Homo-oligomer: A and B are copies of this chain.
Amino acid sequence: MDKRYPDTYYSDYLQLGRLLECQQRKSESYGSPAHDEMLFIIVHQAYELWFKQILFEIDSVREIFGGDSVEEKRIGLAVARLLRVTEIQKILIDQLRVLETMTPLDFLDFRDFLFPASGFQSVQFRMIEIKLGLLSARRLKYDEAPYHSRLSGEHRERLFDLESETSLFDLVERWLERMPFLEEEGFRFRERYGGAVVRMLEGDRDLIRTHSTLSAREKELQLEELDRTLASFESLLDPDRHGSLQEKGRWRLSHRATLAALFITAYRDEPLLHMPYRLLDCLVDVDELFTTWRYRHALMVHRMIGAKIGTGGSSGYHYLKSTAETHRIFSDLTNLSTYLLPRAALPRLPDELLKKLAFVYRP
């Protein structure tokens, strides 16, 4: 290492001169400074910094999955970066507690100055959603208007452009679809799994029927539930049924990708599948943490402004709360739990396949 680099000074490196000049209170410029507006600004800026970091990580994961094939060793890298995203998301959630140190009465001191600005206008958050894979068509409308109606033309353009890019959802789906192993010589995963399912559910049926403390009505309800479960399994395993539910929006992942995800989840103990499993688990985590964040955010808004019109005229927290779940992206992966069999009931993999899923080195 030779020394080609000039000295670095902390404050210059972080551009603190500019960064710490970006906090201008409206209330101050209008001559009635409201103390808590500073907090309001800084909390939101901290959010936007973290959003930038999350975008940076998502982009890098999209790049990893962007090629025609993914080098196995790079999946660990993708996992590490998604784990980082989840650690940031925990901060996003905890930051709400800081904002909640502002009381509704204190917020009123400057709320009118912000009109009609609103957190709905965070372009970066919309970019995160789009890059993860939220489809415009799946977004809830707000006041009958599309999600981008409050944005400037420039920002709207940027989001439209982004919507035509390939999302992380798409890339993961393709990667799953490419996965071999589902159809090996003498092994058809789908058929084998389906057989095991039927055996298990028939056991459950007996369990309910012969149950001593359930009332007749309860049994009836549970057997109906079981039938729905069986139908649901079929809708997962049968390509046609899956396809028709996919058209209705009940499933989003392709049939092939869903089966691959199920395979990974069920046989995750095999070395080659370990990181892929952790990847899927991380995606569920990311989804769950954003869901939690949206929900907590909605509760905070409820507390802060009640049901009155929001800073941007929004009809309030009901919309936010509805998006918590609706804007989930990887719920197909979460729903896979429904279709898991206990290890003891899982079809055994052929030795040839097991070998493929192992390391070259054997002690």
Contacts and interface: CB of A to CB of B under 8 A. Distances in A.
A359 B1 contact: no
Contacts of A288: 299, 303
Contact of A98 (B87, B180, B363): B87
Contacts of A339: 306
Given A8-B115, A335-B307, A105 B359 contact: no
Contacts of A3: 206-207, 210-211
Given A122-B10, A218-B313, A303 B337 contact: yes
Interface in A70-109: 72-73, 76-77, 80, 83-84, 87-88, 90-91, 94-95, 97-98, 101, 103-105, 108-109
Contact of A49 (B46, B210, B211, B358): B46
Interface string A243-263: 000000000000000000000
Contacts of A18: 18, 21-22
A299 B303 contact: no
Contacts of A355: 360
Interface in A157-199: 180
B5 A274 contact: no
Nearest to A145: B218
Which applies to chain A's interface (DSSP): helix, strand, loop or mixed? helix
A295 to B, nearest CB: 5
A41 interface: yes
A30 B168 CA distance: 30
Contact of A213 (B4, B7, B118, B207): B7
A320 interface: no
B334 A8 contact: no
A8 B26 contact: yes
B7 A115 contact: yes
B101 A84 contact: yes
A269 B338 CA distance: 34
**Size bracket of the A interface:** 35 or more
Nearest to A278: B76
A171 B80 CA distance: 27
B309 A226 contact: yes
Contacts of A20: 48-49, 52, 124
A326 interface: no
Q: Which 10 A-B pairs have the closest CB atoms?
A: A306-B338, A1-B203, A10-B121, A306-B337, A104-B337, A15-B22, A108-B342, A84-B101, A8-B117, A10-B117
A13 B291 contact: no
A40 B173 CA distance: 31
Nearest to A312: B10
A60 interface: yes
Nearest to A271: B73
B304 A112 contact: no
Contact of A14 (B2, B15, B48): B48
